[in-house]
Structure 1
Amino acid sequence: MATPTTPTTVTLSNQSGDTAMLVSSTYQGVPNVIKSFQTILFQQNTSLNTFGSAMYAMGNIATWVVVWTANNQVATSILPAGTNVIWEEIWSTIRPDKVESSYTTSYGWEYNSEVQISSNGDAQTLTAKISTIPTN
């Protein structure tokens, strides 16, 4: 018997001013590049006992991680470029429905990530956005 799947509509929005380059993902079809001020929409089927994830390099400055599960939980993290991703730390931040993360760079800009997930019982919608603001 096949494992049931949860169709997930994923929207990734890059409002950061930097090009996002895919580092890794748990699924094929995740876009390799998300240009600055571009929003990408795609479909994934998440097995009920698994998760989806995408990790992007934000230029040479930061790494953006987004994780979601079939039971409406999400995690996100923004790390300095070159930092090893410790998946145990990412998973320790997983929460139902909505999470946020931020990282202030050495030159004074703050990256913010907001991730939301919702379900109607038959399908999920995931929205993830990365943006920057000067912290003067």
Structure 2
Amino acid sequence: MAAPTATTVVLENQSGDTAILVSSTYEGAPSVIKSGEQPVVFDQNTELNTYGSVMYAIGKIATWIVVWTANNQVATWILPAGTSAVWTDIWNKIQPDNANDSYTTSYGWMYESDAHIKSNGDAQDLTAGISVIPPN
């Protein structure tokens, strides 16, 4: 059996609204990520889980999901608020190293998310962020 891989997770919120934790597979995920502040950092020990996930409500506008695995695969998804997450759809989006997604509201605001994961010896680093682009 392979040694567990520690994952350092860095989440950045530039959405213009506070991100509130809805669910996570790991208890170290921060419950609040304020927009425009320094990224939040936490570690995941994959000895218990070979994957991790976080789901955040972005105000009352959107839901932001990030999923990652111990073997450097990642997915991100932005859903309209109130939409149920279909986890098989999210797992079908998982891919090596990088992922991105976007969602445009009915008011023309575009939310974008990027996620990047890479090995760092016996550990890995995951960086994910959400941002917003106002309508023209």
TM category (shorter chain) comes to: over 0.9
Does structure 2 retain, via aligned residues, the 8 Å contact 1:48–1:71?
A: no
Distance 2:84 2:127 in 1: 25
Report the counterpart of residue 53 of structure 1 in structure 2: 53
The secondary structure found in structure 2 opposite 1:90 is helix
Report the counterpart of residue 35 of structure 1 in structure 2: 34
Does structure 2 retain, via aligned residues, the 8 Å contact 1:104–1:110?
A: yes
Matched to 2:103, the amino acid is Y
Normalising by structure 2, we get a TM-score of 0.94
Matched, 1:8 2:4: no
The secondary structure found in structure 2 opposite 1:5 is coil
Range moving further from structure 2, 94-103 or 45-54 = 45-54
The secondary structure found in structure 2 opposite 1:17 is coil
Report the counterpart of residue 108 of structure 2 in structure 1: 108
Does structure 2 retain, via aligned residues, the 8 Å contact 1:100–1:115?
A: yes
Report the counterpart of residue 26 of structure 1 in structure 2: 25
RMSD, aligned CA: 1.6
Instruction: From the two aligned structures, give the one with the greater strand fraction.
Output: 1
Matched to 1:22, the amino acid is L
The count of residues paired between Structure 1 and Structure 2 equals 135
1:124 deviates by: 0.2
Cα deviations by residue, 1:57-90 (Å, 9 ceiling, x for unpaired): 0000000000000000000000000000000000
Structure 2 gaps, min length 5: none
Identity among equivalent positions (%) equals 67
Cα deviations by residue, 1:12-51 (Å, 9 ceiling, x for unpaired): 0001101000000001110000001121011111248721
Distance 1:132 1:47 in 2: 35
The secondary structure found in structure 1 opposite 2:88 is helix
Report the counterpart of residue 63 of structure 1 in structure 2: 63
Moved over 6 A (4+): none
Report the counterpart of residue 78 of structure 1 in structure 2: 78
1:4 deviates by: 3.3
